[in-house]
Amino acid sequence: MAAVVTKRFALVLGILSALLAGSVLSAVLPEDRADVMYHRYDGGGVEVDGPSILLRKSIGESFSLSANYYVDSISSASIDVMATASPYTEERTEKTLAADYLHDKTIISASVTNSTENDFDARFFSFDISQDFFGDLTTLSMGYSKGEDTVGNSEDASFEEEADRQHYRLSISQILTKNMIANIAWETITDEGYLNNPYRSVRYRDSGSYTYEPELYPGTRTSNATAIKMRYYLPYRAAVHVEFRKFSDSWDVSAQNFELGYTHPFKDRWIIDVKYRRYKQTEAEFYSDLFERSEETRFRARDKELSDYTSDTFGVGVSYALDMGKVSFVDRGTVNLQIDRMSFDYKNFRDVVKGEKGGYAAGEEPLYGFSATVTRLFVSFWF
């Protein structure tokens, strides 16, 4: 008798698993969940930390609403700041409201984001539509976003500039085999307006040393990015993932990043993630660490994020499933810790702070590099 009950239970479990599996790429609204995260970035003289809180709740069968509240508390003594200014602290607050509507195999999503800090405001609107077809093996998604930035200057109350940004994106997710899923995505972004950082300067040779003057960027930028991601379920319960992205823009920057990761659950409640990511980019056509003279070129930048460099990231994460037996309104919960160690190696950005201390000649200073630790500690609940 017990054997029959066990077999029936296994059969019911199998059917439920198959039904659940059938919903994998078929259009379903995201699960109701709540996430509370503490995040911290520490490296290169910059410390950024704060909370991020996400709430998602469905309304009826067709609607799902979500809200995200995010704060960056920034304390910066970065190489740029130490070279030409004084360390500062500031806070950025970002709020997002989003809605998803499900109709048959179609999901329509819209969101609005508002980000504020003392000298920079950003508003961002997004609209996406996705459609499942081919036996729910394929999902095609398209999206459009528009961003509007207002750039200020804390040292000049009269300074105010605008920048507009538009995103066009397309992606296809495909179940390739019963153990492999892939996604290919493409996104074009166009910018127009004030794209500088009002505080950043370039340096040029002057009387055997160097002098600074404000940087000047073009008023437009267009970029294209294509990414391919794949996840593969191994013969035992674990997964590997790979990701490759290729990027280029009208400022002559080209970049690639590659990521390889492994996910391994064990003892029912634990999941371990490890990953390695490499990023590499070339410099913008108007970038120089040291210009030969004042206003040498029409556009000028000495932003290390526009220089030639590589970065490596090693990450590890652990997730523990909580026992929610006594909490009736919560289906399941996890507590998670993820730590990434990033290192940056600049090929054409020199450390002027070390240069001044060490008495190096202009253009002969050591190349700059730094490491950073990125930490996320969060709890997730599904209800």
The distance of closest approach from Cβ of residue 207 to other proteins in the complex, given in angstroms and rounded to an integer, is 28
- Binding of residue 77 to other proteins (CB under 8 A): no
> Does residue 12 interact with other proteins by CB under 8 A?
no
> Which listed residue (49, 136, 161, 192) binds other proteins by CB under 8 A?
136
Integer angstrom CA distances of residue 26 from 56, 127, 148, 149, 181:
20, 20, 34, 36, 14
When the beta carbons of 58 and 206 are compared against other proteins, the nearer one is: 58
Residue 168: CA count within 13 A, CB half-sphere: 6
Nearer to other proteins, 204 or 344 (CB): 344
The correct pick among 1, 4, 5, 20 for binding other proteins (CB under 8 A) is 20
Mark 256-277 as b/e (b = at least 16 C-beta within 10 Å).
ebebebebeeeeeeebebebeb
CA distance 356 to 62: 62
Q: Which is nearer to other proteins, 182 or 290 (CB)?
A: 182
Q: Decide whether 41 or 291 has the Cβ nearer to other proteins.
A: 41
Binding residue for other proteins (CB under 8 A) from 47, 49, 52, 131? 52
Q: Which of residues 86-105 bind other proteins (CB under 8 A)?
A: 92, 94
- 199 binds other proteins, rule: CB under 8 A: yes
Q: 16 Cβ partners below 8 Å, 6+ apart? A: none
Residue 149 interacting with other proteins (CB under 8 A): yes
Task: Provide, rounded to whole angstroms, the least separation between the CB of residue 294 and other proteins.
Answer: 23
Per CB under 8 A, does 200 bind other proteins? yes
77, 99, 108, 238: residue in contact with other proteins (rule CB under 8 A): 238
18, 24 Cβ separation under 8 angstroms: no
47: β partners: 42, 75
Determine if 228 is a binding residue for other proteins (CB under 8 A): yes
Q: Is 231 in the site for other proteins (CB under 8 A)?
A: yes
Is 274 an interacting residue with respect to other proteins (CB under 8 A)? no
Cβ proximity to other proteins, 26 vs 297, nearer residue: 26
Q: 8 φ, ψ to 5°?
A: -65, -45
113 is an interface residue for other proteins by CB under 8 A? yes
Among 27, 77, 189, 322, binds other proteins (CB under 8 A): 189
Q: Nearest Cα to 319, choosing from 16, 35, 13, 31?
A: 35
Pairing state between β 63-76 and 46-59: antiparallel
Among 64, 130, 171, 201, binds other proteins (CB under 8 A): 171
**Alpha carbon distances (Å) from 181 to 42, 175, 209:** 34, 4, 56
Count, residues near other proteins per rule CB under 8 A? 105
Q: Between 15 and 361, whose beta carbon lies closer to other proteins? A: 15
The β-bridge relationship of strands 270-281 and 160-177 is unpaired
**For residues 60 and 96, is the Cβ–Cβ distance under 8 A?**
no
Mark out the alpha helices in the chain (DSSP H runs).
Answer: 2-22, 79-84, 352-358
Question: Of 166 and 297, which has the nearer Cβ to other proteins?
Answer: 166
- Using DSSP's 3-state secondary structure scheme, residue 352 falls into helix
To the nearest whole angstrom, how small is the minimum distance from the Cβ of residue 359 to other proteins? 27
